[in-house]
């Protein structure tokens, strides 16, 4: 179907749409405003060396982006345009490209991560010096920054009142999609010298991963397929979301991270179903609101993105350190702690770049409160390995688990990895999927192999300490040490009362 041509005043002869974490055409705020404001719009994506040069040569996220860009470029070509792709330092390249293309304005969707804000400030300055206007728009959240505040004009630090305010503010306007295709006639093809297309992974210094083998769908088509699948079972989300062996989650987090789905579409469907009494949809909508909440927390407290606890008193905790601590951290990373649910969860993230949400909480609690290791070590590991890594949500989750964040679990709440395993993987299906070496244990013993009888261990072909490790810590003893470690926080709280 050809684009609908609508008459509209154009402020600029030519503009540049800078795609970042919004890799889609439809319902894209910045692209919509660029098309509405410019007689001609060119499109660019930059493989930012300031980010990529710090990554390993095989990174599923880079491959996800690359495959999604191929689809985005093809879609733009059907609309008479195409994607300019660069491999450079974005803070320098955007201004240089704007000059080379002789555009009067650059359009992008906002990114409130500290490094992104620093990059954008440099871009803004360079463009301003060249006389080019820089416009940014909200696109990755329903409400951002200061859009949902307390009655005294402060940011929220507790989720439940934030959620109430979020829902009270929500109306159709905030969920309405941007009709990009109505103005697609403004899309222009890149100059011949800028039509190299999307580079191969090898061309930007990366290798293929197991992304295709894992059948992780990419691009807007992949995001749409996942959403269609989830829509058929969203009513069961509240009951199934905590069981890692069950297909309960939406699996859309990586698509939200890179903008191959629209948050307005997802929240709109969930909200409508929730109004109709769908408990599963209401529960999932709460998860989307948590995401907005953590974005606001980061926007108002950028120091938490720089390794600081949201609650400063928790920075006084003395974490276990030294050679032994490093050994414990290595065991946690490799899934060799001797606690099957922990080890299976770490195998999942190491093999796939994904970890079930319930397990993220359990392994984070184990790192901080069983091993006594600094939550920042786990946060950094997740940041490197998660396909769906977002600074705000990752930091919020880790600070929640370590009790140092806003609206976090109390310091004395410590997940028992065995009871969590028995409750949420009762038949050991998830454990067996990722730890085949202990798959022959009974549904009882698989949660705590050290309690299995010698006869059962022998029958299962297991020698603890060889084929599968003995527990690196005793949970009961570790719990007592954690309560002592957090004493500095307890003492301050007592003094304040």
Q: What does the mean pLDDT of the chain come to? A: 95
Tell me the per-residue pLDDT of 286-299, one tens digit each, with 9 for 90 and over.
Answer: 999 999 999 999 99
Catalytic residue among 210, 301, 350, 357: 357
b/e per residue 462-492 (b: at least 16 CB within 10 A): bebeeebbebbbebeebbebbeebbeebeee
**Is 18 among the residues known to form the active site?**
no
272-281 contacts: CB < 8 A, separation 24 or more?
A: 273/234, 273/235, 278/234, 278/235, 279/235, 279/238, 280/233, 280/234, 280/235, 280/236, 280/237, 280/238, 280/239, 281/234, 281/235, 281/237
Q: Is the pLDDT of residue 38 over 60?
A: yes
Q: List, in order, residues 6 or more apart from 447 with CB less than 8 Å away.
A: 340, 341, 418, 421, 422, 425, 428, 431
- The reported pLDDT for the residue numbered 492 is 52
Domains (ranges, CATH) in the chain? 8-139 (3.40.50.620), 141-176+220-300 (1.25.40.80), 312-490 (1.10.579.10)
CA distance 48 to 304: 24
Task: State pTM to two decimals.
Answer: 0.94
Average pLDDT over residues 456-469: 95
Structure-token match 């899934």, residue found: 335
- 266-291 CB burial, b ≥16 within 10 A, e <16: bbbbbbebbeeebebbbbbbbbbbbb
Let me know: does 340 contact 462? Beta carbons within 8 Å: no
- Annotated catalytic residue, options 18, 166, 375, 400: 375
Quote the pLDDT of residue 489: 83
Tokens (6 digits) for 447: 């949660």
pLDDT value, residue 491: 57
* Parallel, antiparallel or unpaired: strands 38-48 and 12-19: parallel
- List, for residues 159-209, the tens digit of each pLDDT value: 999 999 999 999 999 999 999 999 999 999 999 999 999 999 999 999 999
What is residue 428's predicted lDDT score, i.e. its pLDDT?
98
Tokens of 297: 């927390």
pLDDT at 481 > cutoff 50: yes
Active-site residue, 171 included: no
Q: How many residues does the chain have?
A: 497
Question: Which one from 18, 166, 332, 398 is the annotated catalytic residue?
Answer: 398
Catalytic residue among 18, 284, 290, 400: 290
For residue 366 the two structure tokens come to 């184990």
Q: Does residue 284 have an active-site annotation?
A: no
pLDDT tens for 351-404 read 999 999 999 999 999 999 999 999 999 999 999 999 999 999 999 999 999 999
Report the candidate in 455, 452, 246, 213 with the shortest Cα–Cα distance to residue 340: 452
Which of 300, 245, 236, 289 has its CA nearest to residue 266? Answer: 289
Interatomic CA distance for residues 484 and 34, integer angstroms: 57
Q: What pLDDT sits at residue 8?
A: 54
Cβ neighbors of 276 (< 8 A, separation 6 or more) are none
Annotated catalytic residue within 147, 210, 319, 450: 319
Whether 287 is catalytic = yes
Respond yes or no: is residue 166 known to be catalytic: no
Q: Which of 144, 147, 287, 313 is catalytic?
A: 287
Which pLDDT tens digit goes with each residue over 224-274?
999 999 999 999 999 999 999 999 999 999 999 999 999 999 999 999 999
19 phi and psi, to 5 degrees? Answer: -75, 140
CB 440 within 8 A of CB 459: yes
Q: Is the pLDDT of residue 73 over 70?
A: yes
Give the pLDDT score at 168. Answer: 98
Give the model confidence (pLDDT) of 197-232 as tens digits.
999 999 999 999 999 999 999 999 999 999 999 999
Q: Half-sphere exposure of residue 375, counting CA atoms within 13 Å on the CB side?
A: 29
- Cβ atoms within 10 Å, residue 340: 27
């Amino acid at each position: 179907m050809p684009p609908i041509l609508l008459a509209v005043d154009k402020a600029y002869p030519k503009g540049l749409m800078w795609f970042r974490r919004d890799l889609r055409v439809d319902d894209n705020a910045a692209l919509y405003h660029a098309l509405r404001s410019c007689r001609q719009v060119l499109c660019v994506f930059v493989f930012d060396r300031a980010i990529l040069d710090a990554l390993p040569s095989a990174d599923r996220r880079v491959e996800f982006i690359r495959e999604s860009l191929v689809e985005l470029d093809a879609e733009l070509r059907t609309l008479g345009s195409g994607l300019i792709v660069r491999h450079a330092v974005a803070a320098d390249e955007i201004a240089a490209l704007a000059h080379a293309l002789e555009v009067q304005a650059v359009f992008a969707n906002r990114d409130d991560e500290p490094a992104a804000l620093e990059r954008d400030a440099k871009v803004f300055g360079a463009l301003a010096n060249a006389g080019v206007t820089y416009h940014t728009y909200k696109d990755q959240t329903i409400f951002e920054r200061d859009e949902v505040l307390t009655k005294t004009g402060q940011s929220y630090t507790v989720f439940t009142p934030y959620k109430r305010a979020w829902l009270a503010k929500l109306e159709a306007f905030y969920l309405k999609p941007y009709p990009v295709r109505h103005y697609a006639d403004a899309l222009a093809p890149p100059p011949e010298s800028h039509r190299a297309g999307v580079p191969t992974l090898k061309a930007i210094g990366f290798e293929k991963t197991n992304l295709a083998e894992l059948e992780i769908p990419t691009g807007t088509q992949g995001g749409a397929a996942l959403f269609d699948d989830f829509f058929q079972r969203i009513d069961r989300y509240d009951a199934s979301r905590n069981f890692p062996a069950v297909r309960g989650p939406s699996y859309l987090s990586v698509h939200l991270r890179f903008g191959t789905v629209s948050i307005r579409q997802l929240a709109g469907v969930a909200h409508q179903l929730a109004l109709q009494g769908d408990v599963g949809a209401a529960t999932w909508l709460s998860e989307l609101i948590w995401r907005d909440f953590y974005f606001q927390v980061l926007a108002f407290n950028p120091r938490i993105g720089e390794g600081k606890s949201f609650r400063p008193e928790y920075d006084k905790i003395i974490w276990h350190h030294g050679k032994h601590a490093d050994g414990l951290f290595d065991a946690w990373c490799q899934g060799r702690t001797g606690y099957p649910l922990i080890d299976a969860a770490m195998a999942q993230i190491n093999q796939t770049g994904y970890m079930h949400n319930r397990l993220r909480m359990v392994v984070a609690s184990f790192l901080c409160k069983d091993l006594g290791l600094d939550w920042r070590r786990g946060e950094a590991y997740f940041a490197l390995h998660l396909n769906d890594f977002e600074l705000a949500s990752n930091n919020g989750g880790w600070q929640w688990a370590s009790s140092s964040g806003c609206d976090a679990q109390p310091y004395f709440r410590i997940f028992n990895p065995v009871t969590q395993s028995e409750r949420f993987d009762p038949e050991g299906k998830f454990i067996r999927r990722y730890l085949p070496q202990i798959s022959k244990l009974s549904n009882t013993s698989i949660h705590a192999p050290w309690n299995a009888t010698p006869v059962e261990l022998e029958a299962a072909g297991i020698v603890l300490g060889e084929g599968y490790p003995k527990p690196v810590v005793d949970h009961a003893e570790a719990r007592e040490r954690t309560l002592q470690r957090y004493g500095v926080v307890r003492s301050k709280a007592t003094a304040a009362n």
